[in-house]
Chain A
Amino acid sequence: MSNTLLPMIPVKTWVDNSVEWITDTFEFVFDPIKNNLDSFIEFLSETLQMINPWIFIAVIAIIAFFVTGKRIGLAAFSIVGLWFILNQEMWEQLMDTFSLVITASLISVIIGVPFGIWMAKSNIVQAILTPILDFMQTMPAFVYLIPAVAFFGIGMVPGVFASVIFAVPPTVRFTNLGIRQVSTELIEAADAFGTTGIQKLFKVQLPMAKKTIMAGINQTVMLALSMVVIASMIGAEGLGKEVITALQRNDVGLGFVAGVSIVILAIVIDRFTQSLNTQKGE
């Protein structure tokens, strides 16, 4: 609809121009990031693929058994689920997706936790970051693909970039929440014994907030996983790519198998991170 009072504000042009400017100006930053990240993901994926799938499944099952407090449920599910993926010849794609998720989650945690701490220590930072985080989570995830391609071309790295933007908010939010929830009496106790800010952070606030932060990281991993299909649209390898292919060829069977594989991976990762959390907290 045209507006007679005001000409259309050229937001599109502004964004176009600024993305272009960023791409050109920071090429020297983006290129090494792309190359290093690319080789890291490739290395990770290839290493994982070198492991015999049966050994891999066995190791996962054993870890699952101990992580869940010697219960059989998650271990059994891991064996059946991963065997199904292997049986459907999706193993290579599984490892690609797994690598992408691990990389995106790691970067999210490395960025997210310090931002969460900063946010907890300052009300001003919290006031500024909260709407930005809302924006990052509400913006349709597809939109992130566009600048990602502009900065990093196509492949795994823009996929990781888009996943990180989409997945980082829960870690930031939960870190902030966890630290702010530490009872005032414990903070007073720390202060009364003469802690410095850093001592208070590492000896009291982070240990007390650990459970909450872990819950945030769990969310982050899940969001990163939910990005794999979308990231495949810009050329990220893995299970998501099979879904896209199935969509393009109208292949219901392939779509189902790839979809179920993603669900299995999601359940295993989710239960793993959750049990890690409950176990440590006692």
Chain B
Amino acid sequence: MPIIKVENLSKIFGKNPSQAQKLLDQGQKKEEILKQTGNTVGVNRASFEVEQGEIFVIMGLSGSGKSTLVRLINRLIEPTEGSVYINEENLAAMDSKNLRRVRREKMSMVFQRFALFPYRTVLQNTEFGLEVQGIDKSDRSRKAKESLELVGLGSFINQFPGQLSGGMQQRVGLARALANDPEVLLMDEAFSALDPLIRKEMQDELLDLQERMQKTILFITHDLDEALRIGDRIALMKDGSIVQIGTPEDILVNPANDYVEKFVEDVDRSKILTAQHIMKRPETVNIEKHGPRVALERMREEGLSSIYVTDRSRNLKGYVTADNASQAIEENVKDLTNVIETNVPTCDLDTPMNDIFDMIHNSPVPIAVVEDGKLRGIIVRGAVIGALAGSEVSINE
């Protein structure tokens, strides 16, 4: 049974939501509704379910309605239509007293800019949710300390938030949310304000914590990498609507429409490693001055079974294998022109690693990385495997 169940949840900002709602039901687009009624569609009939222990990521670009959607779920923003069930209780139809109870006991929120109280110490910040519930002092201090211990801030309890780094502040934010022991954790771009290294660290830590605690987490992000890393399932949003829901694999392999495909493509091209990250400096011989003897000698020196051949300005001509070179020496051929193989496996500087992986699998020689016909580097099998395994990638110019 799902812990969170969202049905047809909509939010329309503006003066005349009912009119806009009608147009929305007729299937009108966001821009048309804005033009006709002056109302902005924040979230358009979103429906999804989240299971216990799942990390459900809602992702989309800024303006896609993801932050509005998460605020509809704990009703920081009042929904125009639809329902939000948390354990079978419909939040959207609750009176304020019950809503407060659910907010206190069932769900906590972590904010993009941390939203810590600057005049409270780390401990007092962490205690906030418990204090609001009226839990007595010794109890709440014990729970808050446990929670701080969990995020690794046990020794910072008397500092003020202003004295901590961004990453540590967000740990306090996380500890404050966990101190209530909620079933549902809402994380609104929780790591987006952190620099990339710290962000990765926090993602790993969240996954570690999740393994131990098995909370139900609703995580909002605009970063597909982050979504792929931590999400059990991902919902992609565009213009207030959910375009696709699926596992990271689904989204990458079977993009639901052009929008998702573009999104995924974009990420592949820009974020995932490309040829230039894993190539190394090539050993070459110069076709204009070197013959088979030099080629063979150089191969012997470097312990290679083949070597790339270029001209003076490094235009790629082909490669020569050790066998071919020694045969040419026997036949007393001085020039490499007729000895070289010209059927060379090549790729561009920004060919994604996934493609290189397929290529290198079938290739007897390293892959040549070529820019405007010039040889810029070579990729050997070991480098690809190393990069896939996540080890340090050496970048050679």
Contacts and interface: CB of A to CB of B under 8 A. Distances in A.
Contacts of B104: 193-194
B132 A189 contact: no
Interface of A: 183, 185-186, 188-189, 191-196, 199, 203-204, 207-208, 210, 282
Contacts of A208: 117-119
A185 B76 contact: no
A199 B117 contact: no
A192 B74 CA distance: 7
B199 interface: no
A188 B128 contact: no
Given A191-B103, A195-B132, A207 B74 contact: no
A57 B64 CA distance: 65
Interface stretch (B107-115, B236-244, B370-378): B107-115
A186 B117 contact: yes
Binding site of A, secondary structure by majority: helix, strand, loop or mixed?
helix
Contacts of A193: 103-104, 108-109, 128-129, 132, 180
7 contacts: A186-B117, A188-B115, A189-B115, A193-B104, A194-B104, A208-B118, A282-B160
Interface residues of B, number: 28
Contacts of B160: 282
A96 B99 CA distance: 54
A194 B132 contact: yes
Contact of B111 (A185, A195, A204, A282): A185
Contact of A194 (B100, B111, B115, B117): B100
A215 B369 CA distance: 67
B28 interface: no
A276 B237 CA distance: 51
Interface string B88-115: 0000000000011111110111011101
Q: Which of A183, A185, A196 has the most CB of B within 10 A?
A: A185
Contact of A189 (B71, B107, B111, B180): B111
B158 interface: no
A188 B113 CA distance: 12
B111 A203 contact: no
B132 A192 contact: no
B81 interface: no
Q: Which of A185, A192, A199, A204 has the most CB of B within 10 A?
A: A192
Contacts of A189: 109, 111, 115, 117, 128
Q: Which of A193, A204, A207 has the most CB of B within 10 A?
A: A193
B131 interface: yes
A143 B186 CA distance: 58
Given A186-B117, A282-B160, 10 more contacts: A183-B115, A185-B112, A191-B76, A192-B109, A193-B132, A194-B99, A194-B101, A194-B103, A196-B100, A203-B131
